[in-house]
Chain A
Amino acid sequence: DTAVSQTPKYLVTQMGNDKSIKCEQNLGHDTMYWYKQDSKKFLKIMFSYNNKELIINETVPNRFSPKSPDKAHLNLHINSLELGDSAVYFCASSLTDRVWDGYTFGSGTRLTVV
């Protein structure tokens, strides 16, 4: 009964491929996020959806496209993968009405582009 689950946990792929990472939360939260953690461990927000509506879209290449079919799911699709996309991608969720709460994070997806 994992609260925020991401799949796959590891993803190794070649440059130029297209791949997706899936995220699901069973906490009843209405906002979900994607963060990228680079090789220096720095965490940077990429996107956020609130009730299927995009509310945060940081400066991210348009090869990255988030999709939220419902408020419990937020997927990340990446086109034409590049070496620099190699990182750990974390999904997180929160509840808007409890803005004072932090986020609940998934365990991460380690993407390696070769």
Chain B
Amino acid sequence: AQSVAQPEDQVNVAEGNPLTVKCTYSVSGNPYLFWYVQYPNRGLQFLLKYITGDNLVKGSYGFEAEFNKSQTSFHLKKPSALVSDSALYFCAVRDERDYKLSFGAGTTVTVRA
């Protein structure tokens, strides 16, 4: 079985400050990890993924995420948040042997000007 936990329902930061959205996962085999963003009344957009290799992955819009196998975490980060980053962020995991992509409950990010 595979699962994802996003421990924070909401994250609030001031524009220009660092942004971190937390994610932990559980899979039987090797994980494929993803971050998606959903803007109001829109579909999900891919941000970045970890498959193998370097634990720090870079994605769209200046986001990055760090894979930590010992802590089974894949936290999303942005060094300097923008008001336009305000959205709903989903972490997702897929076992390498499974079709299914399982999502966390989502974290609403609000960046204030």
Contacts and interface: CB of A to CB of B under 8 A. Distances in A.
Given A90-B44, A102-B46, A43 B90 contact: yes
Interface string B84-113: 000010101010100111110110000000
Contacts of B51: 100
Chain A's interface size range is 20 to 34
Interface in B5-57: 32, 34, 36, 38, 42-46, 49, 51
A34 interface: no
Contacts of B100: 45, 48, 56
Nearest to A31: B99
Contact of B106 (A33, A42, A92, A100): A42
Interface string A88-114: 001010101001111111111000000
18 contacts: A33-B101, A41-B88, A41-B105, A45-B102, A56-B99, A56-B100, A94-B99, A99-B94, A99-B99, A100-B32, A100-B51, A102-B34, A102-B92, A102-B94, A102-B101, A103-B101, A105-B45, A107-B43
